[in-house]
Structure 1
């Protein structure tokens, strides 16, 4: 079930914290951003703090190999660029260059996923993205869907929610027939909710997400990327992903 929305004062606190100028990571730390718009298996929050998920497992493993201590800052979408470009955080993982603004050092692609449209089991089947013209589609606030935007233009009828998990829930409640979701998130939702009555419709983007490293980070990017390459080669990334399949 979706987690309750953060209290307004807590969201304000997190936003102000991300925007407030701050020193770089303390010596021996690897500070990573945890996006509040993501859900399991990418992230799991408890009282607004990152408590589990792929990003935490990856960050913990990366920090350990770098000989550092992993620290996580929870941020909403508008706070990502100020925190990362400004150097308050060293890195953010599970992201692509066109998803966020700013100039960063980009790691080797490491986290495979698909962006897809899913529908209710009784919704009309889709032959292509063009079939979605003027149809309400569950989307995540602040997310960019460039391919869908190119195909649908002004007939892209977004219905934004705070996360993919909430979009799936809204669809099941009958508030939309279709929603856009990452395959990793969908498979996890189907695993924990075996009776989920949704049907995969279209895969419109396949990608391998990366880690974006701040140009103001005190963590040498070349060293961090070498560690990521090593984790890919020795199967550590696959082991992390396997925990959530």
Structure 2
């Protein structure tokens, strides 16, 4: 099996010019719009986080070399449906377009509203009517849109990291964030004047596998089942709590 230190990173244009994943490779999409603990980027390449840790272990168990392809929101569907990437993790079926083979639920998390410490407390999503809310460009917030409709006032940032920073800087009083990301931010920045106000949707994120992947999905499913049963996924999640 390949060493976990032998990782390869490709920008999307380079991979678009290529065919499908090469023999012996597992090509995973690296979500450049995400923040820790989901993904950490350094010098333009994914360097840590749950997505990378899981991809490394999955590739190792499959006897393949992990290759990470940076992708923002608009690039996800073409890369997966076209078979230029084998998989993307930490997603949900209603977050991305296309038909995929889905893993079982793997990564517990929740959608929530974070607030600056000086912002009025929220009792429900309805309290966000006509208030500026930090969001990530291209992200879908179906529950919030259903409740607020046209009174959902998005202030889009290009990534979750930028979304957090615009709230800390005082540009918006509230922001949409995952519970895991907020907890991680509090862990590394205990003095951050941001609180969790309202959890409105708990979920367990999954992995989407391209139907054009050369890796048999039955083999992938068996491997993921083993990772669940032997505690490998719990060990990954525990690193970031």
- TM-score band by shorter chain is over 0.9
Q: CA RMSD in A?
A: 1.3
- Are the counterparts in 1 of residues 12 and 69 from structure 2 also a CA contact under 8 Å? no
Find the aligned partners of 2:11 and 2:149 in 1 and give their Cα distance. Answer: 34
Partner of 1:7 in structure 2? none
Residues 116-127 of structure 1 aligned to structure 2 (within 5 Å): 116-127=112-123
* Structure 1: gaps spanning 5 or more residues: 1-12
* Structure 2: gaps spanning 5 or more residues: 1-9
Partner of 1:40 in structure 2? 36
Find the aligned partners of 1:60 and 1:217 in 2 and give their Cα distance. Answer: 17
Q: Deviations over 1:32-60 (max 9, x none)?
A: 00011011111111121111111110000
Q: Give SS of 2:115's match.
A: strand
Q: CA offset at residue 21 of structure 1?
A: 4.8
**What is the aligned counterpart of 1:168 among 146, 164, 167?**
164
Q: Give SS of 1:98's match.
A: coil
Q: CA offset at residue 129 of structure 1?
A: 0.2
Count of aligned pairs between the two proteins: 232
Q: CA offset at residue 162 of structure 1?
A: 1.7
Q: Which moved more, 1:141-150 or 1:165-174?
A: 165-174
Q: Give SS of 2:225's match.
A: helix
Residues 7-46 of structure 1 aligned to structure 2 (within 5 Å): 14=11, 16-17=13-14, 20-46=16-42
- Are the counterparts in 2 of residues 41 and 54 from structure 1 also a CA contact under 8 Å? yes
Q: CA offset at residue 14 of structure 1?
A: 4.0
Find the aligned partners of 2:172 and 2:96 in 1 and give their Cα distance. Answer: 27
Partner of 1:58 in structure 2? 54
**What is the aligned counterpart of 1:134 among 130, 133, 136?**
130
**What is the aligned counterpart of 2:202 among 194, 199, 206?**
206
Give the alignment's TM-score, normalised by structure 2: 0.93
